[in-house]
Amino acid sequence: MTPLLVLHRLGDDRGGAAWRDALVQDGWHGPWSAPDQPGHANAPWEADFYEPAHLVMAPLRHLQEIGWSEPPVVLAVGVQSTAAVLLAVGGRATAIVLVDEPEGPWPEAAEEIQRAEYEWLRVLADDPEAQAPAPYGRTDPRTRHGCTPRHDPDFTAEQRAAIFVPVLQLDAASAPEVLAAVRAWWESQSPSP
């Protein structure tokens, strides 16, 4: 069975624990992994920020270390969707499941995008906790400021057009409900021999 990689929501105080519990309870067949992302639970902080290009580094490294024989289905929650999209575009996912993908509204004019991004930088600069060394064993305070608001609709459209693997989009639901939906969807995508 195709492996499953779960990228938990940015800022989830339990890291990937809720997903690991749900996968065990579900008796998920096949290999799976739901690691704590950097700055969450027991994973040390490593990222510069929490922006798309940074979010994808940890799962990329994880996939390299875990050495699955085929690219996984990547299930990503919230802003981690951007990492899942990059993995799909770069040929490192067999399919992606985007749960609660952020929908904006995003600033669209170039000056608005820049202004929003600089405001985000100033908020990070002015938050002493976000500047202090990242704590170990609890959620990094930097995550509360989310990702950079840089979002260009043309770029996103171009990126989405480069995804050639199945994509499932789901709204907020509990981990067990999501897993049930993913199983049903993935079985429908993979005809029995």
Partner 1 sequence: MHLAEPDRATFVDVNRTRLRLWEWGDPTAPPVIMVHGAFDHGRMFDELAPRIAALGYHAVAVDMRGHGDSGPLWSGNAWLSMNLDLGMLARRLGSPVRFVSHSFGGGQALCTAAAFPEDVKWVVSIDGLGPPAAAFEMGDPAEVTAEAFAAIERVWERGARQYPSREDMAQRRRKINVRMSEEWAEHLVLHGSRPGRDGGFEWKFDPMFNIGLGGPFSQEMLLAEYHMVTCPVLVLTGTEPDTWNDLSPQERVERIAAIGDCRHHDVAGAGHYVHLEQPDVVVEHVRRFIEEIGP
Task: Please report, as ranges, the residues that interact with partner 1 according to CB under 8 A.
Answer: 45-49, 51-54, 56-57, 60-61, 64, 86, 89-92, 109-111, 113-115, 117-118, 121-122, 124-125, 131, 133-134, 148, 150-152, 154-156, 158-159, 161-162, 164
**Least distance between partner 1 and beta carbon 159 (Å):** 5
Rounded alpha-carbon distances, angstroms, from residue 22 to 17, 29, 32, 34, 127: 8, 12, 12, 10, 35
**Least distance between partner 1 and beta carbon 89 (Å):** 5
Dihedral pair phi/psi, residue 85, rounded to 5°: -60, -45
In sequence order, the 6+-apart residues with CB closer than 8 A to the CB of 47 are: 38, 39, 54, 55, 57, 58
Q: Between 79 and 182, whose beta carbon lies closer to partner 1?
A: 79
Q: Between 162 and 184, whose beta carbon lies closer to partner 1?
A: 162
**Least distance between partner 1 and beta carbon 19 (Å):** 24
Q: Between 156 and 189, whose beta carbon lies closer to partner 1?
A: 156
**Least distance between partner 1 and beta carbon 120 (Å):** 9
Q: Between 96 and 182, whose beta carbon lies closer to partner 1?
A: 96
Q: Between 18 and 36, whose beta carbon lies closer to partner 1?
A: 36
**Least distance between partner 1 and beta carbon 142 (Å):** 8
**Least distance between partner 1 and beta carbon 86 (Å):** 6
Q: Between 12 and 51, whose beta carbon lies closer to partner 1?
A: 51
Q: 43, 15 in Cβ contact below 8 A?
A: yes
